[in-house]
Amino acid sequence: MTGSSSTLLWILLFVVMIVGMIIQKSLTSKFRKYSKIPLHDGLTGKEVAEKMLRESGITDVEVRPTRGMLTDFYNPGDRTINLSEGVYSSRSVAAAAVAAHETGHALQHHVGYSMLRLRTALVPVVTFSSNILSFVLLAGLLLVRVFPQLLLFGIILFAATTLFSFVTLPVEIDASRRALSWLERSGVTGPEDHKYAVSALRSAAYTYVIAAVGSLATLLYYISIYSGSRR
């Protein structure tokens, strides 16, 4: 890549970083705001997840509490929905949206959603890559003139994490779609509070979009350095 291309990549990375910070701040702000809005149906996050599981015919998934804020996740390995402190026992719109979203992943697992299977298959590769990625990239950048193959190896590892980011996008968007559809259909959210659930999950989706774009821009930057070293 030319010098102008590298400059454009730097600008893109900077823009992505700023936008990412804004989106993350917006998500945190919305979660705090919607955590104060009582849920129409009055259920806790745990009860929302359990109700969605029952109505979806899923009987082998356990709902558990976990520490932290916005640390909610579904573990396909042990088939558990792990809800953070601000979600598990809260009776707010935010808690319902997050709980239903994580249950959406359990539903994906139950029906064999292909993109979730692909993401799960990539986890060991990404875990391995993440453990050595920083070292390989740093060493590769320092030795790029004498041992460019090391940077190329780092680029391959980073490409795996970038692929994971893009595979994650449809998984997260589909989980939110399932969650919002069920929340409205089941009557857990009413006409007044459903729009807040939509807003919260939409903001969460934006964080995955910006993460994927940022990962791609960073990958292209490393590729530009490697290409320059080959001249």
Tokens representing 144 are 């790029």
Query: Does residue 128 sit in helix, strand or coil?
Result: helix
Inter-residue contact 40 to 92 (CB < 8 Å):
no
Query: Does residue 73 sit in helix, strand or coil?
Result: strand
Inter-residue contact 22 to 41 (CB < 8 Å):
no
Tokens representing 56 are 């979806």
Known catalytic membership, residue 102: yes
Catalytic residue among 62, 102, 172, 192: 102
In whole angstroms, give the CA distance from residue 225 to residue 222: 5
Q: Which residues are catalytic?
A: 102
